[in-house]
Structure 1
Amino acid sequence: MRHVLMRSPESRLWMSIQRSSLSEDNANAPFLVSNGTIFLDGDAELVRILINALRHPRMELVVPDKFDKWSALLAEVVYTY
């Protein structure tokens, strides 16, 4: 999973994981990483959509039928990246 979260070197996910691997003190990291576990505090459904996009070979976004949380998804992307 680590390689999936680190696909975008400009993202806050990448920065958090990178900082945690360099030092135990990740107080300045955007997301808390502890013992190899990253803690994401966003909407679980939206975070799952973003992680699935990172898993996709072309980083394509796949959303459920009748998805209507576009504004919230955009906010999650901005926060995460």
Structure 2
Amino acid sequence: ARPDKYCHPPETESRVVMLLWRWKIWLEGTLIFGMLEPWEKVLISAFFGILLTLVFTATFKYLPRELIALHRRVVYYLYGE
């Protein structure tokens, strides 16, 4: 089977477009996305997108509050205040 237009590099002089295309091809080759059907790629991408959203939300919304509470406990146990 001959590769389709999807595998050929884009016909542009833009370094950014070429960098993004190379990154996409590397990612698909490394993470087996090249062997998946389009609907499977969408499903996996949506799952990891939701997972990353939850992780970033927890990191930026809840982690600072937890670190402040942890700091108070450490000060209490170390200095008795």
More strand by share: 1
TM-score, length-normalised on structure 1?
0.21
Name the one with the larger helix percent: 2
Structure of greater Rg:
2
